[in-house]
Structure 1
Amino acid sequence: MSPRPPADLSKVKRLSIKSRPRKVKLADFAKPLGREASSANFLRNLPNSLKAADFRRLIDLIIEAKKKGKPVILLMGAHVIKVGVSPLLIELVKEKVITHLATNAAGIIHDVELAFWGITSEEVAENIADGSFGMSRETADFLNQLAQETAGEELGLGELVCRKLASFSPTNKDFSLLYSCHQQAVPVTVHVAIGTDTICQHPNFDGAFWGEKSYLDFKILVESVKDLAEGGVVLNLGSAVVLPEVFLKALTVARNLYGRITGFAAANFDMIQHYRPNENVVRRPTMTGGQGFSFTGHHEIMIPLLTWGILGGLREHTSPSENV
């Protein structure tokens, strides 16, 4: 016999399933797409649960920001360009959804190479073996010669690069996010970490010039960040360290200069969730008011879904959450 008697389950107090609320209900389940397999229909028919609900909510907030004339600031790592989604982001620029592009030096390197030569992204493991990685003459000369070509001009690095690129009207300009931003008068800021990019390997790299102009871009970003209050959106696409750190400092300077900046949405997209994007973009900036989102997935899948959701909602004059 057991040293202790078993519990008498005949005495448990049971209740009706209908007497307590439940977290899962059929009304929130996914719906078949049917014959109308459009992107907007796809988003509307996602289950109204967890990340799917968050995704639709973020799209709604971006659409609301656009309609209210609030900024949508894009912080973008360079890998986003390499996976081929620039044409989709260009659509968002042309539709006046993206109001500011902040990227790093690798971002402008890949964009420039694609605009002029239609190729980018070396085989690093192969080329580093003989020291040839990052030694492409044309890319370095185009960017590094800015120091001599623009001496004395009081413009930020992003504006200088975009202006020079546009002046050449390169063969593949329709694939260039920088060119599109220049044509649509969308500010571009470039936030450089000296020594992290291939152009730093070349003898014509001027560290003082790049540092000075990137610092000016930081101050330009502050002016965009101050307008996020009450309805703006900031999106971090694939920057794990540099841009989250830059954004946090830009936000604190903006709050120091202009006062309370709250009530905006912040979202991080990446294939792996990292500490700095979630702390410095999503969580800390929205603690005093706002909404934060984190989405895990590959850019070549997530960014098309995001873009189609935004454009579909704008063109249908409805939001993806309606009719859910």
Structure 2
Amino acid sequence: MQTPSFNLTSLKIKPLAERQHDLQVDCIRDLERGASPLMVEVLRPVAECLMRAKESGTARILMMGAHVIRSGVQRYLIDLMERGYLDCLAFNGAGIIHDYEFARIGATTESVARYIQTGEFGFWKETAELNDIVNAAYKKDPHVGLGQAVGRAIRESDFPHKDISLFAHAERLGIPATVHVCIGQDIIHQHPNFDGAATGALSYTDFLRFAACVRRLEGGVVMNFGSAVMAPEVYLKALSMARNLAHQEGGEVRRFTTLVCDLHDLPSNFRREAPRSSAGYYYRPWKTMLVRTVADGGDSHYVKGTHADTVPALWQAIQNLEHKSGKTR
């Protein structure tokens, strides 16, 4: 007997105009020198590593959860991309949703508590047009990246707020903006126009592009802002691939810097792995990015803070170092 499958044809989908948005485009901040001096100083060593990595051409990777986009720090990240301090961005699947909605309508985010009660959560027509973009890109070129396809669509659109799209700017600059999708995890997967084969193929291309960036990580920097599962797990596999090839070629990928910015309370000795009996052992950014993968020559940093605080502080730390060295933008 065949297991029944969910029938998508009768789902009710509404326009975004009927959704109550929790965030408006006015939450996106202009570049400003308002970061905490203490946090700027804490992030100074990472800023120094980013400057050295830029000069040497090694990887400058930023991995993030979608809440980074919701925190309104887009202009800081765009500025860092344009100035060469970031040469790879990596997102979970929700990253394209918030970026696309901000660019298209200047608003994003819905109340899960409100809309899940009526079965309306996630059923918004315009947001699901992301599936059409992905499906069309897959038909045209099955080896295009998911982030690249979305970034190009936004850049070539007439969306009123595409100037703050991370994906559009990454595509313009030729910087990989990779999207690592877990099927069933994002609202656009609920829609009848979702094609798992198309999304999977484009996301896999992004994984291979991300792994190629990790191959350049010796002497570089990889950062994780607010991703508890995607970032450490994707990074771990890509690093194993990079080290596999490096060992065959007589090279190595072990001397690099990692940064995790999140809200967890980690102990001062976070460079030691938590015991298996503690909940901290199962927090992947800690054991994977701060301990295990840098144990043979790398360095790690942890900063507790909101994305609205840590991203501007990192930007400000770089500004301060540039000013001190006499470099101009």
Tell me the TM-score normalised to structure 1 length: 0.80
AA partner of residue 207 (structure 1): G
1:266 correspondence with 2:251 = no
Contact 1:39 1:312 in 2 (8 A): no
* Residues 1:127 and 1:184: Cα distance change in structure 2 (over 3 Å): same
Contact 2:41 2:317 in 1 (8 A): no
Distance (whole Å) between structure 1 residues aligned to residue 198 and residue 35 of structure 2: 49
Q: Match for residue 291 of structure 1?
A: 299
Q: Is the partner of 1:300 in helix, strand or coil?
A: helix
Give the counterpart of 2:81 among 88, 93, 106: 93
Compute the displacement of 1:40 (Å).
Answer: 10
Aligned residues: 275
Distance (whole Å) between structure 2 residues aligned to residue 40 and residue 75 of structure 1: 24
Q: Match for residue 172 of structure 1?
A: 161
1:238 correspondence with 2:246 = no
Distance (whole Å) between structure 2 residues aligned to residue 83 and residue 129 of structure 1: 26
AA partner of residue 143 (structure 1): N
* Residues 1:264 and 1:167: Cα distance change in structure 2 (over 3 Å): same
1:151 correspondence with 2:139 = yes
- CA deviation digits over 1:287-316, x for unaligned, max 9? 111100111111111111111111332244
* Residues 1:120 and 1:41: Cα distance change in structure 2 (over 3 Å): closer
Q: Match for residue 196 of structure 1?
A: 185
Contact 1:144 1:199 in 2 (8 A): no
AA partner of residue 135 (structure 1): F
Compute the displacement of 1:67 (Å).
Answer: 2.3
AA partner of residue 302 (structure 1): T
Distance (whole Å) between structure 2 residues aligned to residue 177 and residue 41 of structure 1: 21
AA partner of residue 165 (structure 1): I
Compute the displacement of 1:41 (Å).
Answer: 11
Q: Match for residue 83 of structure 1?
A: 71
Bigger radius of gyration: 1
- CA deviation digits over 1:261-295, x for unaligned, max 9? 01100010012256101122221111111100111
Distance (whole Å) between structure 2 residues aligned to residue 227 and residue 90 of structure 1: 22
* Residues 1:148 and 1:53: Cα distance change in structure 2 (over 3 Å): closer
Give the counterpart of 1:122 among 78, 101, 110: 110
Compute the displacement of 1:129 (Å).
Answer: 0.7
Contact 2:260 2:303 in 1 (8 A): yes
Q: Is the partner of 2:215 in helix, strand or coil?
A: helix
Distance (whole Å) between structure 1 residues aligned to residue 64 and residue 148 of structure 2: 16
Distance (whole Å) between structure 1 residues aligned to residue 116 and residue 155 of structure 2: 32
Q: Match for residue 23 of structure 2?
A: none
Q: Is the partner of 1:130 in helix, strand or coil?
A: coil
* Residues 1:117 and 1:258: Cα distance change in structure 2 (over 3 Å): same
Compute the displacement of 1:146 (Å).
Answer: 2.2
Matches within 5 A, 1:36-55: 39=33, 43=37, 46=38, 54-55=42-43
Contact 1:39 1:309 in 2 (8 A): no
* Residues 1:106 and 1:204: Cα distance change in structure 2 (over 3 Å): same
Q: Is the partner of 1:314 in helix, strand or coil?
A: helix
Contact 2:91 2:179 in 1 (8 A): yes
1:104 correspondence with 2:95 = no
* Residues 1:282 and 1:245: Cα distance change in structure 2 (over 3 Å): same
Matches within 5 A, 1:207-286: 207-229=196-218, 231-259=219-247, 260-272=252-264, 275-286=283-294
- CA deviation digits over 1:207-264, x for unaligned, max 9? 11111211111111111001010x2000101101112100000000111122320110
* Residues 1:318 and 1:267: Cα distance change in structure 2 (over 3 Å): farther
Single out whichever of 269-278 and 257-266 deviates more from structure 2: 269-278
* Residues 1:113 and 1:39: Cα distance change in structure 2 (over 3 Å): closer
Distance (whole Å) between structure 2 residues aligned to residue 133 and residue 41 of structure 1: 35
Contact 2:36 2:313 in 1 (8 A): no
Compute the displacement of 1:113 (Å).
Answer: 0.5
Identity over aligned residues, as a percent?
39
Q: Match for residue 301 of structure 1?
A: 309
1:314 correspondence with 2:322 = yes
- CA deviation digits over 1:105-146, x for unaligned, max 9? 101110010011100011110111101111111011133442
Distance (whole Å) between structure 1 residues aligned to residue 294 and residue 93 of structure 2: 27
Compute the displacement of 1:149 (Å).
Answer: 4.5
Distance (whole Å) between structure 1 residues aligned to residue 228 and residue 136 of structure 2: 32
